[in-house]
A and B are shown apart, each in its own frame.
Chain A
Amino acid sequence: MTCLPTTSPQKKLGLVIDLDICVGCHACAVNCKEWNTGGHSAPLTDMDPYGQDPNGVWFNRIHSFEVVDEDNDSRTVHFPKSCLHCDDAPCVTVCPTGASYKREEDGIVLVDADKCIGCKLCSWACAYGAREYDEDAGIMKKCTLCVDRIYNENLPEASRVPACVSTCPVGARSFGDLNDPTSDVSQLVADREGFDLMAELDYKPTNKYLPPRPKQNEHTVSASNKPVALTPVSTEKAGLLAQWADKVLSL
């Protein structure tokens, strides 16, 4: 049944993404694609991969936003986005076939590839754009939280985390049980005031995002809070030869 589990899952496995640390290198998306194209929902089909209009299924996409504050001071925030494994997941309840389901044991939301009819309604119900349709297979695909890695006893214990977490070169992604208040990820969320995306829709996403820290402004901003302009290093006039070279080269 595509009803949600009646009892709240014991564990709520999910990701905590630190927007302060992420540098937007897209390594998590690439490693996700690499692992999952051979994993639970394989393949992550690419249509026309070397042609004019390459497109395909990815479980993780990195958007980059600019935030401009009241002082016209801007900063760039790289924003990785994948399935948030919501507690109240409408992508599951709208599914007419029972293909979309939420696991009782750990809260992971998955698609049963043998039952999906490719009606795409789940992708409409997801506010976050976490589901991508595989045109070739005719079914919906989505992040599995690397369910085939995190419990995989053939992998060394340190590798039993989602591919995106294992590859992040700056440690911007953490994985763990967000239902356990003592877990590292829950502590991180509590310390850094982690937040839900589009909390107003009440989907109760499991994944949390950590806000960028306030800017360390003393070196880059003057007392008046205006950015310091670059000043010439030397005020002396250049020599004759240098002036002549400058003229010639400027022609």
Chain B
Amino acid sequence: MHPAKSVILFTTASGAGYGLLFLLITGHMFGVFPADSTLAYSGFGTAFMMIIIGLLSSTFHLGRPERAWRALTQWKSSWLSREGILAIVTFGPTGIYGLCWIFAPNTTISLLLIIGVTALLLCAATVYCTSMIYACLKPVSAWHNRFVPASYLALSLSTGALLLNGILHLQGKNTPLFDMITIALILVSVIIKYYYWKYIGETKGISTVGSATGLGSMGKVRLLEAAHTEANYLMKEMGFQIARKHAKKLRNITFISGFILPVFLISLTGITESAGISNLLVFCSIFFGAIGIVTERWLFFAEAKHTVSLYYGAQSV
């Protein structure tokens, strides 16, 4: 599948934003961080900025962005529509929680709990809907499996944790506990991603050129003559080839830059006394994490094969 830049930015940026919101609110509810307003401003600010950048970027993918509001109407059947609606609804409880944190520190615990839990559920549901946009597509076997929602949710949390960890370090509010949480979330992501790659490596789509043409029972089928001489929309959108050639190298980049380096750099902050060096280390952890997650998402699209390619020369998908 063609890896559209706008969709990569949308899924990674908004994913990290929701992960950050989730951890910020959970951490506040459990008293993991000091409840001062600087953290709230910077945390909620960064998260909302990431989400808004992601959502705006997703509209650049559209042929008619001025009609984007129509995408909020078909929640009964469409995961894309559900994602759009939840993305907007989530601004409510998360925003209110942030406002309570900053302006009403005396809000009763039970009220804060209700708003907070609603916000957490909505953050998770939004990321889940994003993943289901892809996971519901039967023609793409690399997407139509349970590892897809799992990795979207895990990566949302781990990239959100990287950002929040950076904010905490910059404000001198870092704790060994949150460093450990960040590392743990990254490790969970890498495990899920490993099993995802293992799954798509070992599993082939159920469709073949034989079933796509219905001629499989007669013998071995191969494309003799293409339907047209130039590449059409289908071949450009669904026949993307480049990444498959470099898949192994790109997986290594994802693995090292997205997972190993951030874990290593965050671990190093534990042994340095200097706040300056520590800040530089977390900045680098976010920088490498970003390269890793973008490569991961690029591969997610580029490695996925669509059944349409069976009509254009592929034997299996």
Query: Which A residues have a C-beta under 8 Å from some C-beta of B?
Result: 1-4, 19, 24, 53-58, 61-70, 74, 76-77, 79, 81, 90, 92-99, 115-121, 123-129, 132-135, 137-140, 195-201, 203, 209, 211-212
A4–B80 CA distance with the chains assembled, in angstroms: 17
Q: Interface centre among B64, B80, B231, by most A CB within 10 Å?
A: B64
A113–B94 CA distance with the chains assembled, in angstroms: 36
Residues of B within 8 A of A90 (CB): 136-138
Q: Is the CB of A117 within 8 A of B70?
A: yes
- Give the A-B pair count, Cβ closer than 8 A: 203
Residues of B within 8 A of A1 (CB): 74, 76-77
Knowing A55-B231, A55-B233, A76-B224, say if A96 contacts B78 (CB, 8 Å).
yes
Q: Does B215 contact A (CB under 8 A)?
A: yes
In the complex, identify which listed stretch (B41-49, B160-168, B205-213, B278-286) lies at the interface while the others stay far away: B205-213
Residues of B within 8 A of A68 (CB): 219-220, 222
Among residues 73 to 126 in chain B, which have CB atoms less than 8 Å away from a CB atom of chain A?
73-74, 76-81, 84
Residues of B within 8 A of A211 (CB): 214-215, 218
- 7 tightest A-B CB contacts, nearest first: A118-B63, A138-B63, A129-B308, A69-B219, A97-B70, A64-B225, A96-B81
A119–B68 CA distance with the chains assembled, in angstroms: 9
Q: Does B238 contact A (CB under 8 A)?
A: yes
Cβ contact of A58, chosen from B61, B133, B232, cutoff 8 A: B232
Residues of B within 8 A of A62 (CB): 227
In the complex, the chain A residue whose C-beta lies closest to that of B212 is: A198
Residues of B within 8 A of A57 (CB): 233
Cβ contact of B213, chosen from A3, A54, A79, A94, cutoff 8 A: A79
Residues of B within 8 A of A128 (CB): 212, 307-308, 311
In the complex, the chain A residue whose C-beta lies closest to that of B214 is: A195
Q: Is the CB of A121 within 8 A of B80?
A: yes
Cβ contact of A65, chosen from B79, B207, B221, B237, cutoff 8 A: B221
Q: Is the CB of A81 within 8 A of B311?
A: yes
Residues of A within 8 A of B1 (CB): 124
Chain B min CB distance to A87 (Å): 15
Q: Is the CB of A96 within 8 A of B214?
A: no
Q: Is the CB of B225 within 8 A of A124?
A: no
Q: Does B230 contact A (CB under 8 A)?
A: yes
Chain A min CB distance to B293 (Å): 22
Residues of B within 8 A of A139 (CB): 63-64
Seed contacts A64-B227, A96-B74, A132-B234; 14 additional CB < 8 Å A-B pairs: A2-B77, A4-B77, A55-B233, A62-B227, A65-B209, A65-B223, A74-B219, A90-B136, A93-B78, A115-B67, A126-B308, A128-B308, A211-B215, A212-B215
